[in-house]
Structure 1
Amino acid sequence: MSTEKVPRKSKVIPFLTNLQIDRQVNFNNLVAKAKLLKLDGFELIEWNEELWEITGGRLLQQSGRNSLSVAINFSYPPKLGEERIGSDWEQLTKALFVLRLHAKQQGLSNQRSFLTVAGYIGYFANQYNVSIYDISREDLDRACNRISKDYSESFAYSLHKLVAEFAGHLDANGLCKNLLNYKYSKQKRPASANAIGTKRLDDPNTLITNEKVLAPVVFKVLGQLYQNVPKDHKYRFYILLLTFFACTGRRFSELSLLPNQEIQIDKDGVAYLEYFPRKVSRGNTFTPKRKLYLPSQTLALLREIISEIQYLTGDCRDTALEMHRSQGIDGRFLKNCPDQLFSKDLELLKISKSILGKNSRLLKEGYVFEDENSGQMYTTVQGLKKYCSHNFNPQSLRAVHIDQFGKSYFLHDLMFLRYYTMSSGKSVASWLTVECSHSMLTTFLRYIDDLVAEYVGLEDIPEFTTHDFRHTLNTMWDEGGLSDLLQTEWFGRSDPNDTKAYQHTSPEKKALMIREQLKNGEAKGILADQIFNLPINVQDAVLAARVQAVHDVGTGLCIHNFSQLPCERHLQCSADCKDYVWIKDDKQRLDEQKRILAITVQAQETVHQQMQSTRIKKSVDWELHNKKKINVLTEQLQDNGVVEFDPKAYLEEISNA
């Protein structure tokens, strides 16, 4: 048997389909292929320039700002001096940047991180005069070692993985003489990156929640800010927005683009809002409008917030409507302006008089003049319109959403709107409405401690992001017993496996919770019957020995410890398994219990028919198995308040639905 180490399989897809023996030919072909691509927003790019200004497309949309362009700089990272990369390494970096963007449409932050990695690799390669053809693992190790020194553990871990990807591109496209097959030898998953570990159930830290789950003080402080911050305060808008996040657990991209609406009631009397499930990483992927059913305890608060938001954004919405009508800025205020606008006129319009200064853009463009009599500088209405239009983005006039019925939603149809903030940060452009961007909220969160000190009386609160509300609510739903399927549906996900990443209740904590429910008679099953008449101290000992893990199995819960033994029942949990338990009055599992019971009853009828055949022994065994399931599931339905249940009628009902 060969003892030679098996190479790691590259995780990257080659950009070149026809590799040549000559590595230089492969390099030239790679760069040529990248230059041929015509990506949205890259129209003004000059390939050989150090700075690329991207004016549209996915990267601009994901910048988190209401900007007209995104700058991509092909230079060393700041910690290495920010000099231009230069040489073939810069050509390679540009080619990989364009090709990976075209192939997988990574987000802006991922692309910037990849360029950071390319800068480190290029820096040390140029320092040691190493060409692309000659690069080795030692050269990549130098880059990784410096990355570990320059960045935090968690961010360095992400960059180390991108170094491996960079090396994978070199291998996959035949660019160097050595097969790198690279992974940084010191790469270690940090504890903060959701690493999996175990805890003793008697460890006090077992009940401590994950750092992504917000402390109760955050909700308390947010509530006090909502009550105490005046309604005319400049930051009131963001307090309302944060409260909305706390009540709904939506993604920022979903709330910031939420259609303007009132809370609606469906035919069953359940309140909901309509929204578009949307992840930033998916860009403009079409997603149909869905209903967000609202927790009943939040309805009164959300109605107040929506009413106040609509009042606060009334002027912004009016401006957005005029922008949509005129297909430009809202220039209605220009109609009453004098032909010549001096400093005092600009002050009345709340526009900085610096636009008439010696270094102003308007002066350079020929829109600032000197008055012959007074010597004062002035601009014209045309010049002022030019100034006001500078930050206008025509893309803001496009439809933000198009639902499954073909209805288009534009900027003025959104709930959360803001006026554009001028570069000074001290004034707003009342002629230009924009959607609420992530950078706006991030800027506000920098000053929230001052707001908390003034209106709550605390020095500070734990740092948090809007996405932490999503993690927190998901964990609360999970600890409250909501099934993974319903959690997935309510949070607007497509894959239940994604929901697991938001459940920060540790397995140990779940086990402790089930122990208490079994002791208190809130859970049933064979184990509950066994401990019912035992003394309390004996109950604790039995539960400590039996309940070491908890698994959701749809109709109930399994407490089998799979780390010790495989499942003896082959996951037929409800067939009177000793490790199967369920919570009484667990309405969210009712449909699944009905479905499994109906299917089992139907299977039992088939068994009875087969018992007339010669394979009587197998039929008897299967009949006993089904009988156990029917008895257990019937008991579960009774615990859920269902006394009479017709399996045939149920199956007909769901088949016709």
Structure 2
Amino acid sequence: MPDKWQPMIEVLETRPQRDARQRLADFVLQARTDCAAFGTDLDWDRPDWDITAYCPQPANKSHSRSVIYFTTHEGGSSKSMKGRTPLPEPFASLIKAIVRTRQDGNPQSVHPLSRIVNAARDLSLELADRGHDPCRLLPQDFAAAANRVRQRATGASVYRLGQALEIIAATIDAKGIGFCRLDWKNPIPRVANNGSRQSEVADSARSRSIPDDEVFDALAAIWNAVEDESDVVLMGAVTLLHCAPWRIVETLGINENCEIEEQKEGVNGPVFDLDGIGIFRFGIRYWKEKSGEPDVKWIPTVMTDVAKLAIERVRSATAGARELARWLHDHPGRAWLPDPDLDPDKLYTVRDVQAMFGMAAPAAALLWLKQHGVPLEDQLRTSGGKMRKVVRRADLEVALLADMPIIPASDRETPLHERLFLSFRNAHHATRATNPCLLEIVSDQQIRDFLGGRNGIVASGFDRILQRKDLVARTHQFRHWLNTLAQAGGLEQGLIARWSGRDDVAQNSEYDHLTPTFLAEQARELLHGGKVIGPLADIHTSLPPVKREAFAETVIATAHVTEIGFCLQDWNSSPCPEFGACATCESAAIKKGDRFARARAAQMRDDNAWIAERLIAEVDDGTIGASQHHRATVDVVSALDRIIAIHDDPTIEDGTLVQPNATSPAHYGGPDIRITA
């Protein structure tokens, strides 16, 4: 008999808990058997789903396969299951069900689906002590996962992973899977570059997103010096990135016949110069990467000749590859070889293959044949009586066709023989010989290698051509640079969005890296040019001309963009005394005619008017502080009404800076300036 009796405690599961587990099982079963997303033959139990057939990557993407890995963070960068650990069950089945049902209801690319899995990896770590049971997830588990995301992710991906966590929480609530309701919202804010141009985030984004001046000078030198066809093609793509805010995938996907030129149209019809000659604009046809819609990228007049030359040089350098592609198009089912004899039973020796493929040695040709499963036959030499290896032309053609680039079945993908950025296989490889019998689509990875090298193995164009190991650039930097130039030039936000190929004007802010100093210079130029209305302009006009420059530099040391216009408060000298109250602040200035700012002001006006109406009932009930809150809210509504009226005033020229709050702010220059005035 044991010395001490120990009772056995069994925790009984409640009915709500049993119901939650049953709903989880039903949800997983529905996703597994009733969803059509990713095909009816999907191997549900695999931790890696190859969904390339349903979410194809663009042909010029360096990684052509679309795979979702339902694995933990360990080995997360591997392009296979080697080194990866599958997510534990039953948590993995929930995430698979979420991914498949979302794709079934709203088909999308692989990237947002992979983000859900990426966020789920952090969430899975919080369930390690509860058997990875998703029914037992709590709001604090999602909060902890969000903190993990903040620690490991950077840039815009932090916010997006937080949104993915919110999707998981919302699905659990909607399906009644959890033991308790989560009601969890993403706490990670979406960081916009124009929110604070003096913060470390803004400074880091600016330095990371805009190439150094030396990079531009070096690229110009390379473009003028390159003659090798491979470098001409790669540098041609980079040159086009200078001409318009492309995404690199869009640039590499354009058609050989991509140019369009048409006469400009004005209010009264076609536009002519003073000599009566028509003024034309030049554009390049392309497919938008995100929406997949066809569009025209219009090139600024000053860059038209540069863009035309780049296209012409690339077209010439890739003409041979396109000729091979046309031959393949005209001879379906056949592969091209330098031998004009098309007899499928003709035999070639390994040395013949070496010569046709442009390889350095027979051993390289033999290795290629074995790797591609080409049957080798023994043939008796005509002299010497020894045997040698030969291959039939038909078998060789089968291997060549299988090794050609695969174009996804999509209207947006240009056929091989019509693509501008098309090369012979290995034309851009550092060590391998160019194979004139095979083709490859110029990839984003090859452009990245040209601009930045790779892991000390591949030298960049800066290093190879100019012996500058210190220079590095990224393809997306040129998109940020051109957007910032457009912002600096005052281009209307809708035009910037359209020129950049984006559908949401609000996304412009992510690519706006103007510094507070530059914005202040713009504001001072407007002040000197008489295009500012308000107390600042009154003081400036009343000053002697010799003191106006000093006054402007003193009171407009920096400037900042707000939701409704500009802030002229110098945050370098003191923090904002009216933080969050831009509409009623004396330092506020609006740019007349800014449609985005007007729309935001109108929305804020409606929101505050709604609050003011409901505060009346609180005032009548005698709620403490309600009357003060009501007065402050009414003041905000009145200020926003003034701002909207300024935007709608036809007597004020568009682009004019207007201070809507007439009281002269105390920090404008101090008493001495007012006395002098």
TM-score, normalising length from structure 2? Answer: 0.67
Structure 1 spans left out of the alignment, 5+ residues: 1-18, 402-408, 570-577, 590-624, 637-657
Distance 1:105 1:427 in 2: 41
Alignment partner, residue 323 of structure 1: 328
Distance 1:263 1:411 in 2: 21
Matches within 5 A, 1:549-564: none
For the residue of structure 2 that corresponds to 1:235, the secondary structure is helix
Alignment partner, residue 196 of structure 1: 195
Distance 1:190 1:485 in 2: 21
Alignment partner, residue 382 of structure 1: 394
2:500 pairs, out of 481, 487, 491, with 491
- Tell whether 2:223 aligns with 1:226: yes
Q: Tell me if structure 2 keeps the 8 A contact 1:327–1:397.
A: no
Shift of 1:310: 0.9
2:463 pairs, out of 450, 453, 460, with 453
Deviations 1:261-307, CA, capped at 9 Å, x for gaps: 44624254133123235133x3x4xx3443x3322222332222121
How has the CA–CA distance of structure 1 residues 108 and 532 changed in structure 2, closer, same or farther, with 3 Å as cutoff? same
Shift of 1:98: 1.7
Deviations 1:189-245, CA, capped at 9 Å, x for gaps: 698x74833649xx9x9999553222222211111111123x125333111110110
Distance 2:125 2:450 in 1: 37
Identity %: 17
Alignment partner, residue 520 of structure 2: 511
Shift of 1:314: 0.5
- Tell whether 2:324 aligns with 1:345: no
For the residue of structure 1 that corresponds to 2:134, the secondary structure is coil
For the residue of structure 1 that corresponds to 2:209, the secondary structure is coil
Alignment partner, residue 240 of structure 2: 244
- Tell whether 2:56 aligns with 1:54: no
Distance 2:167 2:323 in 1: 48
Shift of 1:545: 4.1
Shift of 1:33: 2.7
For the residue of structure 2 that corresponds to 1:275, the secondary structure is strand
Alignment partner, residue 256 of structure 2: 260
Distance 2:591 2:130 in 1: 65
The one-letter code of the counterpart of 1:302 is A
Distance 2:210 2:430 in 1: 36
Distance 1:159 1:207 in 2: 21
Alignment partner, residue 275 of structure 1: 285
The one-letter code of the counterpart of 1:102 is D
For the residue of structure 1 that corresponds to 2:420, the secondary structure is coil
Distance 1:181 1:35 in 2: 26
Deviations 1:591-624, CA, capped at 9 Å, x for gaps: xxxxxxxxxxxxxxxxxxxxxxxxxxxxxxxxxx
Distance 1:37 1:635 in 2: 57
How has the CA–CA distance of structure 1 residues 397 and 298 changed in structure 2, closer, same or farther, with 3 Å as cutoff? same
Alignment partner, residue 474 of structure 1: 483
Matches within 5 A, 1:342-491: 342-350=349-357, 353=363, 356-357=366-367, 360-363=370-373, 367-371=375-379, 374-392=386-404, 395=407, 399-400=411-412, 410-421=415-426, 426-447=432-453, 450-462=460-472, 464-491=473-500
Structure 2 spans left out of the alignment, 5+ residues: 1-15, 77-82, 265-270, 272-278, 570-577, 596-644, 657-677
Deviations 1:355-406, CA, capped at 9 Å, x for gaps: 645993454xx723334663433322122112112234564576436xxxxx
Alignment partner, residue 673 of structure 2: none
For the residue of structure 2 that corresponds to 1:175, the secondary structure is coil
TM-score, normalising length from structure 1? Answer: 0.69
Distance 1:120 1:44 in 2: 30
For the residue of structure 1 that corresponds to 2:135, the secondary structure is coil
For the residue of structure 2 that corresponds to 1:518, the secondary structure is helix
Deviations 1:448-481, CA, capped at 9 Å, x for gaps: 864313433433224x322221211111121122
Q: Tell me if structure 1 keeps the 8 A contact 2:346–2:392.
A: yes
Distance 1:630 1:120 in 2: 55
Cα RMSD, aligned residues only: 4.7
For the residue of structure 2 that corresponds to 1:77, the secondary structure is coil
Q: Tell me if structure 2 keeps the 8 A contact 1:114–1:162.
A: yes
1:170 pairs, out of 169, 172, 184, with 172
Q: Which moved more, 1:238-247 or 1:425-434?
A: 425-434
Q: Tell me if structure 1 keeps the 8 A contact 2:337–2:356.
A: no
How has the CA–CA distance of structure 1 residues 393 and 148 changed in structure 2, closer, same or farther, with 3 Å as cutoff? same
How has the CA–CA distance of structure 1 residues 427 and 54 changed in structure 2, closer, same or farther, with 3 Å as cutoff? farther
Alignment partner, residue 211 of structure 2: 214
The one-letter code of the counterpart of 1:383 is D
